[in-house]
C-alpha cells in the first residue's frame, strides 16, 4: 500500500499561495489489499525529518483523504511546513507517505519594499534592477514579487521560474497577487543582479470591451519585490524594491494582450535611470491563488502553405493558444513580422473575426542566432502568416508553445466513434486555450474575458478534464470581490474590468452554480463557507430587482443575454438573444439559484436561512407556473430550451413533467432531431433527454452530422469548439465576423454528458467529494463502446462498456480505495442498485437493445414506410389511418405510440397485439436502404 498525490489545497508542495482559513490536505492510496481507510494520522513538522513536530493528529478515523483541514495549526509567515500522512487500512495494512510540504507567503508581515516605477514612463518596456553583493554562505533565498501589468523576474540573467504572464489576471483594483519563489540556487557568491522586466498585460494594456482605451487599472509600470536572503549564520538580508533600484530600457517596444508584441534586439538599454516610489496600496497585495500559466505542450507546424494570394502561411494543425517560437538565423537588422489567424478563407490568410485585435509579432534581429518568442502577450491561432520573413522557411525552425494554467489532467474519454473522439479533443483544446489564468470566452479576438455565463456552463466538463479546484476558486474569489462593490449584483465578466453591464440570468448565476458544483465535486465545506455570502447576495440582488418591478416573484425588467446564439429565431446572425422568453429564463434561474442557496445554507447548518431561501424558491416556482404554464400543465413557452430548463431545474409538478418531456421530444422531432438551443439550453439538453428516458434521442443529437450539430463542426475540420453552430458554413466560408470565435468552449459542455451520462460517472450532491458516487452508464449501440477514466478527489474511477457482435453487453468498472459506488446496470439487467467497494468489476450479459425489434411502436411512421412489406401489414391493421390522405407524411416522425398518445389509436386496441413482431418479420433492410438513398 502506498500513499500518493499528497496535496495542500489541491496543489503539490505549494510555495506562497493563499491558503484560505486553514490549509486543506488530501491524499490518495494505491496498491492496498484493504478497501478503505480505517484511520489516518497527519503529522506536521518544521523539518523534513519530522524532528520538530508541530502537530500530530494521532490515528483518527474521522480524517478524510479528500479534505482535512487543521484549523488548530497556527501559521507563521515565510515558513515551510512539512506534513506526512499515515494510513491504516481495513485490512490492517499500514503505510506512511513521503513528506510533502507547503510554505507560507508573507501572511500579515508588513512589506519593507516599496512600489516603484521608472521615472521616465515611455512605451518601451522597462527593466527594474538592483545589483547587490553576497559575502556570506547562503542557506536559503526567497523572492516575493509582483509586477504590473505583467512581469518576469531574473537573477543574474537567469529566470526564477517557468511561470508565464505573471501575476495573472484578477480584479486588480480589489487585490494584487504576488508570487513567491525559491531562488536559493540562483544566488551566487559576490555580485548579483535582481531584475524585473515589465509589460502591459491585462492591467494597463489594450484589453477590455472599451477597445479605444489603453489604461484601465493604472497608467504606470510598477513593481514591488522583497528578496530575502537567509545566511548560514542565521542572519537575514532583505533586498527590497526602493529608490535605490534603477531602470533600463528593454528591447520590447510595446506589447498588448490583443495586439501582440514588438521587439527590437538591436536596441541598447541606454543609461540606467532613476526609479520613483509610487502610491499603490500595499494593502492590496495578497499571495497568489492560482497555479501558474506555463508552456504546457509544444507543437510543430504541420505545413507551410503558399496561398493563392501569394502569402506564406504556417499551419499548426491545431487551433492553439500561446506563442510561436522561431529560430532566428538572420543578420543584424533583419525584420520579422508575423500575423496570427484561426482559419483560411478561399485558401488565403484571414483574420477579420479577430475584430480589432491585431494579433501580431514584430521582431528585429541583432544577428545572434537564437530562439525568439514573445513574453507579454498570447495568441489564439492555427495559422501564422509570415508577412516579413527574412530567412528560409524551414518547418523545423518553428515551435508552437501552448500556454495554459498548470492544472493536472484528471480525465480521459475514448469511444468507438472517431468523430466523437475528435469532439472530445476539441473540447479539451478549448479548455486549454481558455484557461489562461482565468476562464475566458475566447482566446483570440478583442475580448478574451472572464464571461460568467461561459465559465458556469463549462464548469463540470472542465472538472472532468482537469483538477480545476484552485482555478475556479480563484475565479469565485474575484467574483465575490467584484460583487461586493455592486451590492450583490454580479457583473457579466469577472474580473469586471471595464464592463458595466449588470448581472444577467445564467451569467450572474455563476455566483451560485460554480461554488455549489465545486463543493459537490471536491467536498470542501470551507470553500462553500467562503462563497456563501456571495451566493446569497446574488439571490438577494435578484430579489431586490423583483421587489422593484412589482414583487411578482418573477425577474423582470432587466437586460439578459437569454439563450445566447440559439437558432430558434428568424435570423440567428442578427438576432443573438435567442427565441426563449427572457423573463421566463430569468425567473427559472431566480428559482434555481434560490434552491442552491437553500442547499448551501443547509450544509452550513444555517437552518433558518435554508428554509427562507427554500420558501423564496417555492414562491418563484409558483409564479412561474402561474404565468408560464396553462392551468392543466402545458408549458406556454414553446422552445426546446424552455422545456429543457423546466425539466432540468425540476420545477414542474410531477404530474406535469411527463407532458413537458413528451412535448420536448415532439419539438425535437419537428426539427428532424436537430437542436435549436443556445448557451442556456445546450448544456442541459442531452442530460434532460437521458433523464426523461430518451437516451436514444440524446445519442441521436450527439451523432447528428449535419448542421446544426456537434459533429458538423468536426466534419468541417474544427480542432476546437466554435462559438456558433455554423461558425463556418458548408462551403468553408465564415458565417459572421462580429461574433465568431473558433475557440469558444461553451458548447463543449456535451463532454460532461459523455462522462456523467454515457459513461455514467456521477458525483452526488449528498456525498460531496465523491467518496460515494453513482455509476449509471447510459450506453447505446450507436456508439459501440466507451472507455472513461476520471481521477476523482477520492481516487481513480474507470468505466468501460462495449457491445459485441453477438449482442452481448459488457461493463467493467473500478472503484478507488476508500470509495463506494452505487451501480445501476443498464441494458436490461437487474436494475436494482448495487453497492460496490474498492476494486475492479466486470459484467457481461445479453444486451436488451440487441433484442429490440427493427420496427416497433416507437419507430417513426416515416421509417416504417421505408419497408414496403411492413407498410402492407400496417395498412391491413389500421386501414382507417393509413387510408388518410398523406398519412405517412402527416405522421412523419411520430411513432405509433405517439399516435396512441394523440388518441388516433386507442391504447387497448387489440390490433396492436403482435404488431411489432408482424412489422419486423417483413422489415427488409436492403429495400429500406435503397428507398433511403433514392
Ligand atoms: C462572449 C460570450 C459571452 C457573451 C455574452 C460574447 O461576446 O464571447 O461568450 O458570454 O458575449 O453574451
Where is average pLDDT lowest: 219-223, 568-572, 587-591? 568-572
**pLDDT confidence of residue 490:** 97
By residue count, the chain amounts to 934
Q: What is the mean pLDDT of residues 5-32?
A: 95
- Mean pLDDT, range 182-205, rounded to an integer: 97
Q: How many angstroms is it from 503 CA to the middle of ligand 1?
A: 13
Question: Is residue 6 over pLDDT 80?
Answer: yes
pTM over 0.85: yes
Q: How far is CA 808 from the centre of its chain?
A: 36
User: Do the beta carbons of residue 802 and residue 843 sit within 8 Å?
Assistant: no
Q: What is the mean pLDDT of residues 374-378?
A: 98
- The string of pLDDT tens digits covering residues 881-906 is 999 999 999 998 889 999 999 999 99
What is the number of other CB atoms lying within 10 angstroms of the CB of residue 924?
15
Distance 565 CA to ligand 1 centre (A): 9
48 is catalytic: no
pLDDT range class, residue 176, cuts 50, 70, 90 = very high
Question: How remote is the CA of residue 441 from the centroid of ligand 1, in Å?
Answer: 6
Atom 9, ligand 1: residue with shortest CA distance: 441
Q: Is the CB of 447 under 6 A from ligand 1?
A: yes
pLDDT digits (tens, 9 = 90+) for 673-695: 999 999 999 999 999 999 999 99
pLDDT digit string (tens) for 631-660? 999 999 999 999 999 999 999 999 999 999
pLDDT at 680: 97
Predicted confidence band of residue 932 (pLDDT cuts 50, 70, 90): low
> Is ligand 1 within 6 A of the CB of residue 454?
yes
Instruction: Report the pLDDT value the prediction gives residue 573, as an integer from 0 to 100.
Output: 82
Question: If you take atom 1 of ligand 1, which residue's CA is the nearest one?
Answer: 441
Judge whether residue 821 has pLDDT over 70. yes
Lowest-pLDDT choice from 377-381, 848-852, 896-900: 848-852
In tens, the pLDDT along 32-85 reads 999 999 999 999 999 999 999 999 999 999 999 999 999 888 999 999 999 999
Q: Are 843 and 811 in contact (CB under 8 A)?
A: yes
The answer to whether 395 touches 300, Cβ cutoff 8 Å, is yes
Average pLDDT of the segment spanning 500-527: 96
Mean pLDDT rounded to a whole number for the chain: 96
Give the pLDDT confidence score for residue 21 in this predicted structure.
Answer: 77
Q: Of 538, 542, 546, whose CA–CA distance to 516 is shortest?
A: 538
The catalytically annotated residue of 103, 226, 723, 827 is 723
Instruction: Quickly state the pLDDT bin for 509 (edges 50, 70, 90).
Output: very high
Q: Looking at ligand 1, which atom is closest to the CA of residue 741? A: 8
Cα(293) to centroid(ligand 1), Å = 23
- From 451, 504, 582, 741, the mutation candidate for ligand 1 (largest count of ligand atoms within 8 A of CB) is 451
pLDDT for residue 627 is more than 90: yes
pLDDT surpassing 70 at residue 931: no
Residue owning the nearest CA to atom 4 of ligand 1 = 451
Q: Tell me how far the alpha carbon of residue 493 lies from the centroid of ligand 1, in angstroms.
A: 9
Considering only CA atoms, which residue is closest to atom 2 of ligand 1? 441
Given the DSSP bridges, would you call strands 285-287 and 176-182 parallel, antiparallel or unpaired? Answer: parallel
Ligand 1 pocket, residue 429 CB under 6 Å:
no
| 311 in active site | no
| Confidence check: pLDDT of 757 > 80 | yes
Measured CA to CA, the distance from residue 387 to residue 362 in angstroms comes to: 10
Rounded-to-integer distance, Cα 690 and Cα 757, Å: 7
Please report how the helices 525-548 and 469-484 are oriented relative to each other, as an axis angle in degrees rounded to 10: 40
Q: Over pLDDT 70: what percentage of the chain?
A: 99
Tens of pLDDT, residue by residue over 225-282, are 999 999 999 999 999 999 999 999 999 999 999 999 999 999 998 899 999 999 999 9
Contact 804, 782 (CB under 8 A): no
Per-residue pLDDT band for 212 (boundaries 50, 70, 90) equals confident
pLDDT tens column, 324-351 = 999 999 999 999 999 999 999 999 999 9
State yes or no: pLDDT of 101 exceeds 80. Answer: yes
Q: How far apart are CA 205 and CA 165, in angstroms?
A: 13
Answer yes or no: is the C-beta of 745 below 6 A from any ligand 1 atom: no
Q: What is the DSSP string of 810-827?
A: EEEEEEEEEEEEEE---T
* pLDDT 10s digits, 289-328: 999 999 999 999 999 999 999 999 999 999 999 999 999 9
441 lines ligand 1 (CB under 6 A): yes
Where does the pLDDT of residue 201 fall: very low under 50, low under 70, confident under 90, or very high at 90 and above?
very high
Q: What is the pLDDT of residues 115-166, one digit of tens each?
A: 999 998 899 999 999 999 999 999 999 999 999 999 999 999 999 999 999 9
Stretch 580-594: mean pLDDT: 98
Sign of the Cα torsion 906, 907, 910, 912 reads: positive
Q: How confident is the model at residue 550 (pLDDT cuts 50, 70, 90)?
A: very high
**Phi, psi for residue 632 in degrees, rounded to 5:** -100, 10
Is 453 touching ligand 1 by the criterion CB < 6 Å? yes
The answer, yes or no, to whether any atom of ligand 1 lies below 6 A from the CB of 564, is yes
DSSP string over 461-505: HHHHHB--HHHHHHHHHHHHHHHHTTTTPPPSBSS-TT--PPP-T
Q: Which atom of ligand 1 is nearest to the CA of 746?
A: 9
Q: Write the residue with the smallest CA distance to atom 8 of ligand 1.
A: 441
Summarised one tens digit per residue, pLDDT across range 381-395 is: 999 999 999 999 999
Beta strand residue intervals within 46-189, DSSP E? 53-56, 68-69, 80-89, 94-96, 100-103, 116-118, 126-134, 138-148, 150-155, 158-159, 176-182
| Mean pLDDT computed over 564-573 | 89
Catalytic residue among 447, 482, 796, 827: 447
* pLDDT above 90: percentage of residues in the chain: 93
Residue 837 main-chain phi, psi, to 5 deg:
-105, 180
Q: Is the CB of 819 under 6 A from ligand 1?
A: no
Q: From ligand 1's centre to the CA of 451, what distance in Å? A: 6
Amino acid at each position: 500500500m502506498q500513499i500518493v498525490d499528497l496535496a495542500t489545497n489541491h496543489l503539490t508542495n505549494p510555495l506562497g499561495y493563499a491558503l484560505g482559513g486553514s490549509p486543506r490536505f488530501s491524499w490518495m492510496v494505491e496498491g492496498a489489499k484493504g478497501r478503505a481507510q480505517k484511520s489516518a494520522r497527519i503529522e506536521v513538522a518544521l523539518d523534513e525529518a519530522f524532528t520538530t513536530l508541530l502537530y500530530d493528529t494521532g490515528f483518527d478515523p474521522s480524517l478524510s483523504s479528500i479534505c482535512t483541514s487543521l484549523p488548530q495549526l497556527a501559521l507563521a509567515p515565510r515558513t515551510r511546513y512539512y506534513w506526512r500522512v499515515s494510513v491504516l487500512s481495513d485490512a490492517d495494512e499500514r503505510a506512511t507517505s513521503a513528506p510533502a510540504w507547503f510554505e507560507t507567503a508573507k501572511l500579515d508581515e508588513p512589506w519593507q519594499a516599496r512600489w516603484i516605477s521608472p521615472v521616465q514612463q515611455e512605451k518601451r518596456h522597462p527593466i527594474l534592477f538592483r545589483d547587490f553583493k553576497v559575502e556570506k554562505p547562503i542557506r536559503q533565498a526567497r523572492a516575493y514579487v509582483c509586477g504590473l501589468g505583467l512581469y518576469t523576474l531574473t537573477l543574474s540573467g537567469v529566470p526564477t521560474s517557468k511561470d508565464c504572464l505573471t501575476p495573472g489576471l484578477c480584479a486588480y483594483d480589489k487585490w494584487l497577487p504576488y508570487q513567491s519563489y525559491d531562488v536559493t540556487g540562483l544566488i551566487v557568491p559576490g555580485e548579483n543582479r535582481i531584475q524585473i522586466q515589465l509589460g502591459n498585460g491585462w492591467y494597463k494594456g489594450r484589453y477590455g470591451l472599451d477597445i479605444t482605451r489603453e489604461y484601465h487599472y493604472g497608467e504606470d509600470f510598477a513593481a514591488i519585490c522583497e528578496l530575502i536572503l537567509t545566511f548560514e549564520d542565521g542572519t537575514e538580508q532583505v533586498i527590497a524594491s526602493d529608490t535605490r533600484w534603477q531602470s533600463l530600457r528593454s528591447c520590447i517596444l510595446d506589447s498588448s494582450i490583443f495586439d501582440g508584441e514588438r521587439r527590437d534586439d538591436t536596441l541598447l538599454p541606454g543609461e540606467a535611470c532613476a526609479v520613483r516610489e509610487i502610491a499603490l496600496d500595499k494593502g492590496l497585495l495578497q499571495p497568489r491563488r492560482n497555479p501558474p500559466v506555463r508552456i504546457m505542450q509544444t507543437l510543430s507546424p504541420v505545413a507551410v502553405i503558399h496561398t493563392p494570394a501569394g502569402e506564406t502561411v504556417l499551419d499548426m494543425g491545431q487551433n492553439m493558444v500561446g506563442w510561436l517560437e522561431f529560430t532566428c538565423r538572420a543578420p543584424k537588422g533583419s525584420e520579422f513580422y508575423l500575423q496570427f489567424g484561426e482559419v483560411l478563407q478561399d485558401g488565403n490568410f484571414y483574420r477579420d473575426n479577430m475584430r480589432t485585435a491585431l494579433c501580431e509579432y514584430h521582431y528585429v534581429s541583432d544577428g545572434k542566432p537564437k530562439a525568439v518568442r514573445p513574453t507579454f502577450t498570447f495568441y489564439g491561432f492555427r495559422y501564422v502568416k509570415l508577412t516579413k520573413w527574412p530567412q528560409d522557411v524551414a518547418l523545423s525552425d518553428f515551435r508552437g508553445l501552448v500556454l495554459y494554467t498548470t492544472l493536472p489532467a484528471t480525465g480521459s474519454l475514448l469511444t468507438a466513434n472517431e468523430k466523437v473522439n475528435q469532439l472530445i479533443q476539441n473540447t479539451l483544446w478549448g479548455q486549454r486555450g481558455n484557461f489562461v489564468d482565468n476562464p475566458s470566452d475566447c482566446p483570440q479576438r478583442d475580448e478574451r474575458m472572464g464571461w460568467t455565463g461561459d465559465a458556469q456552463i463549462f464548469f463540470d466538463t472542465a472538472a472532468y478534464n482537469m483538477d480545476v479546484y484552485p482555478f475556479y476558486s480563484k475565479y469565485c474569489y474575484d467574483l465575490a470581490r467584484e460583487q461586493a462593490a455592486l451590492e450583490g449584483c454580479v457583473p457579466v465578466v469577472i474580473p469586471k474590468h471595464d464592463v458595466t453591464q449588470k448581472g444577467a440570468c445564467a451569467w450572474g448565476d455563476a455566483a451560485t452554480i460554480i461554488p455549489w458544483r465545486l463543493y459537490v465535486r471536491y467536498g470542501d465545506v470551507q470553500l462553500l463557507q467562503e462563497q456563501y455570502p456571495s451566493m446569497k447576495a446574488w439571490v438577494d440582488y435578484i430579489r431586490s430587482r423583483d421587489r422593484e418591478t412589482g414583487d411578482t416573484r418573477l425577474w423582470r425588467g432587466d437586460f439578459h443575454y437569454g439563450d445566447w446564439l440559439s437558432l430558434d429565431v428568424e435570423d440567428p446572425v442578427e438576432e443573438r438573444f435567442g427565441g426563449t422568453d427572457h423573463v421566463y429564463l430569468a425567473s427559472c434561474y431566480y428559482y434555481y439559484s434560490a434552491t442552491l442557496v437553500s442547499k448551501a445554507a443547509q450544509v452550513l447548518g444555517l437552518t433558518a436561512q435554508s428554509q427562507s431561501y427554500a420558501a423564496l424558491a417555492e414562491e418563484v416556482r409558483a409564479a412561474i407556473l402561474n404565468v408560464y404554464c396553462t392551468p392543466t400543465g402545458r408549458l406556454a413557452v414553446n422552445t426546446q430550451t424552455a422545456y429543457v430548463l423546466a425539466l432540468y431545474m425540476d420545477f414542474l409538478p410531477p404530474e406535469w413533467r411527463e407532458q413537458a418531456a413528451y412535448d420536448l421530444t415532439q419539438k425535437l422531432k419537428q426539427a428532424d432531431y436537430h437542436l435549436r438551443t443556445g448557451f442556456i439550453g445546450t448544456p442541459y439538453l442531452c442530460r434532460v433527454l437521458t433523464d426523461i428516458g430518451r437516451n436514444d434521442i440524446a445519442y441521436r443529437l450527439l451523432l447528428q452530422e449535419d448542421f446544426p450539430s456537434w459533429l458538423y463542426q468536426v466534419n468541417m475540420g474544427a480542432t476546437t469548439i466554435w462559438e456558433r453552430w455554423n461558425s463556418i458554413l458548408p462551403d468553408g466560408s465564415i458565417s459572421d465576423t462580429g461574433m465568431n470565435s473558433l475557440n469558444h468552449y461553451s458548447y463543449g459542455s456535451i463532454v460532461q454528458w459523455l462522462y456523467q451520462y454515457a459513461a455514467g460517472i456521477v458525483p452526488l450532491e449528498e456525498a460531496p467529494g465523491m467518496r460515494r458516487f453513482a455509476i449509471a452508464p447510459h450506453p447505446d449501440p450507436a456508439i459501440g463502446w466507451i472507455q472513461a477514466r476520471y481521477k476523482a478527489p477520492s481516487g481513480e474511477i474507470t468505466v468501460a462498456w462495449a457491445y459485441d457482435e453477438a449482442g452481448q453487453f459488457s461493463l467493467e468498472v473500478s472503484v478507488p480505495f476508500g470509495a463506494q459506488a452505487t451501480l445501476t446496470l443498464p441494458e436490461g439487467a437487474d436494475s436494482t442498485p448495487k453497492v460496490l467497494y474498492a476494486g475492479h468489476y466486470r459484467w457481461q450479459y445479453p444486451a436488451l437493445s440487441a433484442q429490440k425489434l427493427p420496427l416497433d411502436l416507437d419507430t417513426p411512421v416515416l421509417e416504417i414506410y421505408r419497408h414496403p412489406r411492413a407498410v402492407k401489414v400496417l395498412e391491413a391493421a389500421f386501414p382507417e389511418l393509413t387510408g388518410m390522405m398523406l398519412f405517412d407524411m402527416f405522421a412523419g416522425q411520430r411513432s405509433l405510440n405517439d399516435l396512441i398518445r394523440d388518441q388516433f389509436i386507442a391504447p387497448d386496441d387489440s390490433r396492436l397485439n403482435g404488431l411489432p413482431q408482424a412489422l419486423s418479420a417483413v422489415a427488409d433492410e436492403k429495400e429500406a436502404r435503397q428507398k433511403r438513398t433514392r
